[in-house]
Amino acid sequence: MLINDIQTFINIDVNIIIILLGILIYILKQYNIKIITNVLITAFILAIFDVYLKSILLFDQKDDYYIFIINNIITILVINLFVYLINGMYEKITFERFFYLAFACFFYELIVFKLYNYNNMCNQKLRTMTKTIMRLATVYILSNYLLDAKFDKDWFDISTAGLLNFSLYNLIFE
């Protein structure tokens, strides 16, 4: 779990890390620094998801590929829900948007992942990071396209924050 790795690295209680992230987000939102704030919001949500929600929301995964896909869809939907809530983007919380996010995640896992051969890349960290970037880029771009929504600055900030956080996690902790 990401937050446990961070806790081990800096030796601070998990709950304190989450509180500090929340305070930092509150302070930065005052200065309207969107890209940095969105990176911290995504890190905050990942920490909450990792510590409190993962064990409640995700299915036990033995070796079932479809359970893996369902867990990825749940993870993407929950993280995006919290991003929209914390950013006050209540108009983006619609069934249609979340259906397209789920469809884009499903599309990636069943088609893009199968077509792109990650095994020929140079090392495990780069393969893992590439899979993460491809998954999130596919989900963000395809779901936004299906919604016929604008690829505007808000979309870019939130998408980039997600890509940066997951890539950073893959780079440092895996």
Render pLDDT for 79-89 as a digit per residue (tens, 0 to 9). 899 989 988 88
The model's pTM is 0.77
Instruction: Report pLDDT for 174.
Output: 62
Q: Which residue has the higher pLDDT, 102 or 162?
A: 102
Residues 6+ apart with CB under 8 A from 139: 76, 101, 104, 105, 108
Instruction: Report pLDDT for 118.
Output: 60
Q: How many CB atoms lie within 10 A of CB 91?
A: 8
Residue 96 has pLDDT above 90, yes or no: yes
- Give 95's pLDDT tier (boundaries 50, 70, 90): very high
Render pLDDT for 128-167 as a digit per residue (tens, 0 to 9). 788 888 889 999 999 999 999 999 988 998 888 888 888 8
Instruction: Report pLDDT for 33.
Output: 73
Going from the C-alpha of 17 to that of each of 24, 56, 84, 85, 97, the distances in angstroms are: 10, 21, 22, 20, 31
Q: Which of 111, 112, 131 is nearest to 121 (CA)?
A: 131
Instruction: Report pLDDT for 34.
Output: 75
Instruction: Report pLDDT for 8.
Output: 66
Q: Which of 154, 158, 173, 152 is nearest to 42 (CA)?
A: 158
Instruction: Report pLDDT for 121.
Output: 56
**Considering only 2-6, 85-89, 100-104, which range has the smallest mean pLDDT?**
2-6
